[in-house]
Structure 1
Amino acid sequence: MNKSLRLEILEEKDLGLVKDIYNYYIANSTATFHTGSVSEADLKDILPIGDSRFRSFLIYFDNEVAGYCYLGRYKPRAAYDRTAEVTIYLKPEYFGKGIGREVLLQMEQKALEVGIVVLMGIITAENEASVKLFERMGYEKCGHFKQVGEKFGRILDVVAYQKLL
């Protein structure tokens, strides 16, 4: 990748940027099962902010905000604290530039730095780009949940991928 990519800790002041990105996905995709717009207050309940291990980041590509990503709790019990769900959302104009791969590599390193050794990707099955990304990055399919969601009048499957770091 010939342009600079960096992750910066996401803070509450950044929630407006994140809201715009996420609301695009809500309105235009099945990447999320939210069906109505979210507010900045809603995002405070979704994104880990201020946690020392489970963290959110803005993605900068060539000094512009290209998206956001986070390591979220897989389950809210201490026994699962070695595992995180990794999530990446890019602005549409940044698709196909190799950013997802680079972000995933950096997220894996950030996970290891805080003792997280298992990463999970939970993906709508029809999201071929994300499925391919996780497979190319060495994640193994470990679950297929059939017909668990409905959006835009369509019944949707969800797949789970995991990687032992």
Structure 2
Amino acid sequence: MPPRWKNVLADADPTSWIYCEYTSDGKGLELKSSGTGGLSEFKAALGESIAWGGFRCNGVDRRGTFECKRPKFIFVQHKPEQMSAMKKAKQGSHKGDVKDAITGAHLDVIVETLADLDEQGLIAKLQAATGAYKPNGYEFEPGLILDADFYGLGIGNDCKGESSKN
């Protein structure tokens, strides 16, 4: 699993997500799927089993004619709501080991339903996890940027800037 996650972390590699399920004996993880699409492709890959994964999105700054994209990595603990409490509890005890393999995440999310991967909810969590310099948009699907104007300064050519003159 770690080599495939390193592909997600690499700017030059198109891989943008991985999804891993437990092996049949329950003692290890195996890569179930990976892809180069966006969040919608990752959500479509989620099965009905307890699993782990992660995906890449971009924090986007659009100020005037300037645009800068910075990768953000989200660690996913998938525990479908229909799973038993015992299976969910057992999975929780593995989180540290899995985080040793899926490193560098900016945000951890627990996913019980697809609603837990709602873009606006993820934007709010990502904005809360950033420092003072927050992106004014996020790209979860290639080429589709969702606004996240935390400071109310405008976006793109409408950006008022961040000086005291505005």
> What TM-score do you get using the length of structure 1 for normalisation?
0.27
With CA pairs under 8 Å and 6+ residues apart, which has the higher RCO, 1 or 2? 2
Mark the structure with the bigger radius of gyration. 2
> What TM-score do you get using the length of structure 2 for normalisation?
0.27
Higher helix share: 1
